[in-house]
């Protein structure tokens, strides 16, 4: 109650001052709230800007990395293409060289065949060579027959010698038996 009586006792100017003071405090509080809100908004804006900057930086890094990868892939593809071209070129050279060698062989073969077919001397030499091979083969066969004949004769002679020596041995045995009979009689007589 005392405060009510004090209020009543206050003059209008005092009330005005109090209201004014109250408004000033309210304004200061509102200003402070606005400043805090602005500070928060500014901080949020800074954080957001930092995030955006980080995203831009990451995107730039990713773009650079992607670009490097593309360049490396292009370089590898170019190197592989050059290697394939080089290998193809080498294979073509080898194929041409093999074709040339085969052509040369065939040409030499045809020349030899032509010379062989059209040269009387070569035909005569070839005929003589064939005859010589046949003669050598015949000689070898004759020699083989002679060797077999000789071997048969040697075996026959060996068999005859064995038979003769057996016959002679048998003859000696019989002779000794025959000589032993009269001697045995003489020994008995004495």
Residue 131 lies in a domain: yes
Residue 181 lies in a domain: no
pLDDT band at 1 (very low <50, low <70, confident <90, very high): very low
The structure tokens listed for 146 are 């002679």
Residue 14 lies in a domain: no
Residue 46 lies in a domain: no
Query: Are 90 and 100 spatial neighbours (Cβ–Cβ below 8 Å)?
Result: no
Q: Which of the 8 DSSP states describes residue 174?
A: H
Query: Are 116 and 122 spatial neighbours (Cβ–Cβ below 8 Å)?
Result: yes
- The residue whose two tokens read 């670009």 is 67
The structure tokens listed for 21 are 């003071």
Mean pLDDT throughout 130-157?
94
Find the domain containing 140 and state its range: 126-168
Domain count, the chain: 1
Taking the C-alpha atoms of residue 190 and residue 185, their distance in angstroms, rounded to an integer, is 9
* 3-class secondary structure, 108: helix
pLDDT of residue 10: 65
- The residue whose two tokens read 């990868």 is 69
Taking the C-alpha atoms of residue 75 and residue 65, their distance in angstroms, rounded to an integer, is 15
Residue 141 lies in a domain: yes
Residue 147 lies in a domain: yes
Q: What would the pLDDT profile of 6-65 be if each residue is shown by its tens digit?
A: 555 568 888 888 999 999 999 999 999 999 999 999 999 899 999 999 999 999 999 999
What number of CA atoms fall less than 13 Å from residue 141's CA on the CB side? 6
Taking the C-alpha atoms of residue 92 and residue 128, their distance in angstroms, rounded to an integer, is 47
Residue 120 lies in a domain: no
Residue 158 lies in a domain: yes
pLDDT of residue 125: 82
Taking the C-alpha atoms of residue 186 and residue 170, their distance in angstroms, rounded to an integer, is 25
pTM for the full model? 0.33
- The residue whose two tokens read 């190197």 is 79
Q: Which of the 8 DSSP states describes residue 1?
A: -
Chain centroid to Cα 45, Å, comes to: 63
Q: What would the pLDDT profile of 151-166 be if each residue is shown by its tens digit?
A: 999 999 999 999 999 9
């Amino acid at each position: 109650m005392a405060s009510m009586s004090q209020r009543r006792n206050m003059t209008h100017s005092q009330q005005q001052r109090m209201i004014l003071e109250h408004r000033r405090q309210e304004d200061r509080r509102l200003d402070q709230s606005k400043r805090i809100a602005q500070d928060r908004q500014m901080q949020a804006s800074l954080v957001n800007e930092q995030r955006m900057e980080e995203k831009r930086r990451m995107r730039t890094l990713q773009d650079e990395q992607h670009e490097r990868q593309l360049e490396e892939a292009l370089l590898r593809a170019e190197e592989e293409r050059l290697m394939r071209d080089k290998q193809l070129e080498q294979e073509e050279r080898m194929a041409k060289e093999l074709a040339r060698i085969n052509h040369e062989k065939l040409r030499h073969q045809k020349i030899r065949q032509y010379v062989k077919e059209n040269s009387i001397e070569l035909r005569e030499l070839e005929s003589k060579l064939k005859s010589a091979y046949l003669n050598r083969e015949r000689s070898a066969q004759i020699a083989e027959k002679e060797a077999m004949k000789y071997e048969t004769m040697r075996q026959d002679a060996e068999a005859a010698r064995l038979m003769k020596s057996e016959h002679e041995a048998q003859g000696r045995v019989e002779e000794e038996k025959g000589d032993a009979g009269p001697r045995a009689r003489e020994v008995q007589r004495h």
